Each structure stands twice: as structure tokens, then as C-alpha cells.
Structure 1
């Protein structure tokens, strides 16, 4: 199996060139669709679609609810790329493969990453179907040295020791909260802390209690590695969790959770997510983005 030490910058470039040769306009916004949320990509009129199996060096998505496609097109006048399905450590992929698309996006010219996921609620006031705008995250694998930036650093992507303060862009979060209010979704839209665990099993009661005491409001099995690398690459990041279930924190009242239920909640909230993400993309001022770029 190839390691980060022998996966070269030139390999990322090869993937980026392959894509650029086949699309009309390089994307400036990348949107990762979490479990059951691939319908977001269907909003693109006349989108150009590539199966992951077609793209050099790309992994394959193996999870139900992740169709495994890159879709390129224009949303609200902005050139975008959608990932219909992401990659997870629990699928057996090393972290360098999980985050490969983010570095390819960097080489394509992406400035903003919008990442969505399905998550379980640790906060007692959250209910299935609620939205949680991610204020911050706890990267449990990263705290145990399973970090996507582990190994030799390539300065062409970012610095050796990146700061993760304001990882989830303050202005994008405020804009999203305002959009949710205007859409009438304020009653089920929150801001909170997302915790990533390795999976694929759902959490035990003791683990759920532990994560809640750490300050996590929701828990899932993705997102943090992609966000860490996006921040390393200098992208602005917005994160959104769809709460699909309540995580059991008591032995006497077991909450039932399964993957099929997660997919069903995603289907029920698809239009709400589509409206919020579309509104957020519409609000982004690309001229302002260009002015913020370092010289």
C-alpha cells in the first residue's frame, strides 16, 4: 500500500490536470455531501459528472448513501464541485487517501470548502432532523496522533504547524445562521461542537457520556481530517451537521440507531439543506475572496 512518503506532489498534480482537461471552469467552491446528502449535487444544471473510478489516484466510496461521484457545475453563478460521497478511515483507507480530494481541490483553485455530514446528537436539546452549524471540532483520532498532516510537510500546500483557531469561518457561520432565520428554520438550527470518532460502530453509553463531558454536541465518523487539511491549504471552511439520531447516554433508555434511519432523515431534510447551502453559496462574494488572498 502506498504511503504518504511516496505519494508525491506530482501525483496530486496529475489528478488535478486530468480534471482540468475535462471541465469548462475551475471550481472556486467545493461541497462535500455527507451520508444521504448527495441530493445537494443534483441542484447543478448540466453538471459534468465523473465516477471516482475514472479519476487517477482517487479512492472508491464503499458506503451506502455515498454514490462516489464528482459533479462540476455552476451554482448561483459560482463554479462549484460537489463530492457525492466521501472516504472514511473505517473503510480501511489511510488518512492520506481520505484527504486526497482536498489537496486536489487546492490545486484546482478552490477557495472555500463547505462540508456536510450526518451526526448523532449528544446535546439533549437536539432532535433528529435538526441542523448544527459547526463552530469547532474535537478530532479524537488526531489527538491520538492519527492526523492527516502526519509525516513530511510539503510547504506548497501549507505550513508545518498550522493554527486551527477560527477553523470554521466566523463570517460564513454568521451568514448561515441569518439565512436559516430568514428561511424560518431557526427553531431547529443550532451552533455547536462536532466530535469525530473512528467508527464504524456507533458509540457505547460510556463513550457517549465521555464525549459529552468533553464538550461535544454531536458525534460522527468523518469531516475533521478534511477540514484540517483544508485549513492547512488556506481554504475558508463551513461545516454543517444534520442530526439524524440521538446517542444513548443512559443504560435504561437505549436509543435505537441504524444506518437506514440515518439515510431516511437525510431524505426528509434534503430540501432544507439544499436551500441553506444554496443561500450560503449565493452570499459569497468572490471578488472579496480574491482581495483576501495573500500576495
Structure 2
């Protein structure tokens, strides 16, 4: 990872800001609506930021929104970068490096995912307790920069246990039922086959998607605490006998908008 590129990007962002953000938000497919809740927003299109890739997926606005949410200084990515878009793992995780350089201590990463656990329903929110990297690649492959993190980072608490407990408490306080489970990261862009979903269930997956895993690995490498939330947008292939579409994903995330907003805002307002 090129430190100069990181510095160029974070330097440009800092020039636009009056306050330093402390919490990062990565908003997945259909979940970018949270960015619209940010007060006194400074909006920075990805295309304006040096070395930033461009978001190409429907449902991803492709901009940073920086400002105040529930009394906390936050920086939100309305849209992320995916390996399947043709970007390298370094490009996919570049925003995490930039957030660390900006002073971010905690990241809430969200995604839309297919439900593997048959006790889940479309519209459920799932706290990610762990993940399985099924992408056949890792963003830390290559020469390690010791200034950015350890050569062999510990992933036993990739998803911060204290944050998970905190999120569960928040859900109870606002009367929202949440699931917990293991997220499997696949490359995409094709949805999984029914046979692949059966395999993922056997190896311990509760939900499957095409993002998040690289960003979380790099966040832990950088010493950033992570809370992960999946919106179960559909049941994975073969569980229900119906075809899968991205339109369905966006439609479901629209339906859970209110609960998602209430939940994440409650978490942020009381985040330790």
C-alpha cells in the first residue's frame, strides 16, 4: 500500500473539513440512506478524491458524507468498492487506509446479504459475529508495511465483542429483533448456486455476500474496531424456489429502512 497515495487522499479530505471524524460508516447496497441523516454534511464525490476508485454499482451513490450523526463526528461511504468490479484488493480497501489516516477509531460496516440460516427472513438485521473469507484472495498479500499494521494480524476478534453486546442492548432498548451470525464473503458478481449455498451452510455460514471481508481484514490490520451489520435482503439460492435479483435486494433494504436507521443511530449515539 502506497503511503503517499493514502496521504494524498486523506490530505484532500482534511482540507474540506472543519472537524475530525471519529467513526467511519460503510453503507452497502440500498443502505446509503443513512448518509442523508447526517447534519451539516460535507459531501465529497469519490471522483474528486486523489487515487479513489469509482463506485459502479446501482444503489451506491459514490460519495463521502462527513458531518454529525447523533452528536458524533462521522464519515460515511455512500457506496463501496467490490472485488468483482475489477478493482484490486488494495483499491477495494483503500478507503479504510484513508479513514485510519484521518484518525478513525471505529467502523460500522453494513451490507445486504443472502440468508443461509433458514431461521432468518428477508428484512432481518444480522449482527456479524465472524466471517469466512471465501474470496480466494486477501488484501494483505504482498510486502507488509509495519507502519500500517502487523505482518500477521489477529482475527480472533475481527468483529468487536464489546460492540456486538452494545448493539444487542441498543436493539432491545428500541424494540428491534436482531439476528447474529457468520458472514461468508464470495467474490460475485454471480449469485451463488444452490449447491454452493448448501456447502456454505455446512462450513458454518449464516449469510453470504460479495463485500465486507476485505474491509474488515484491513480494519483489524490498522487497529480499527469493527461492528458489522448485514441486512438479510433475500434468502440465498435453493432455500426458496425463486430466482435472485439485485432489484429484490434494493426493494428489501427499502422496506427495513426505518428499523435500520433507528438501530444504527441508537448504536452511534451511545457507542463507547
* Short-chain TM bin: over 0.9
SS at match of 2:237: coil
Structure 2: which 5+ runs fail to align? none
Counterparts of 2:14 and 2:237, CA distance in 1: 46
Mapping of residues 233-244 of structure 1, within 5 Å: 233-244=222-233
The corresponding residue for 1:173 is 164
The corresponding residue for 2:192 is 203
Alignment pair present for 1:192 and 2:186? no
SS at match of 2:75: strand
Counterparts of 2:46 and 2:12, CA distance in 1: 12
The corresponding residue for 1:256 is 243
SS at match of 2:244: coil
Superposition TM-score, scaled by structure 2 size: 0.98
The corresponding residue for 1:183 is 174
The alpha-carbon deviation at position 11 of structure 1 amounts to 1.1
The corresponding residue for 1:271 is 258
Deviation string for 1:131-162 (max 9, x for gaps)?
10000000112xx3x10001011111100000
Counterparts of 2:147 and 2:98, CA distance in 1: 12
Counterparts of 1:184 and 1:210, CA distance in 2: 34
The corresponding residue for 1:36 is 30
1:127 to 117, 121, 132: 121
RMSD, aligned CA: 1.0
Asked if the contact 1:246–1:255 (Cα under 8 Å) also holds between the matched residues in 2, the reply is: no
The corresponding residue for 2:207 is 218
The alpha-carbon deviation at position 91 of structure 1 amounts to 0.6
The alpha-carbon deviation at position 255 of structure 1 amounts to 2.6
Counterparts of 2:162 and 2:19, CA distance in 1: 26
Superposition TM-score, scaled by structure 1 size: 0.90
Asked if the contact 1:247–1:255 (Cα under 8 Å) also holds between the matched residues in 2, the reply is: no
The corresponding residue for 1:290 is none
Counterparts of 1:156 and 1:284, CA distance in 2: 27
Asked if the contact 1:52–1:70 (Cα under 8 Å) also holds between the matched residues in 2, the reply is: yes
The alpha-carbon deviation at position 229 of structure 1 amounts to 0.2
Runs of 4+ with >4 A deviation: none
Deviation string for 1:113-133 (max 9, x for gaps)?
100000000000100000100
Counterparts of 2:207 and 2:242, CA distance in 1: 15
The corresponding residue for 2:79 is 85
Deviation string for 1:219-242 (max 9, x for gaps)?
000000000000000010000000
State which structure, 1 or 2, has the greater radius of gyration over its C-alpha atoms.
1
Mapping of residues 50-199 of structure 1, within 5 Å: 50-141=44-135, 144=136, 146-186=137-177, 189-199=178-188
Counterparts of 1:158 and 1:77, CA distance in 2: 30
Structure 1: which 5+ runs fail to align? 286-295
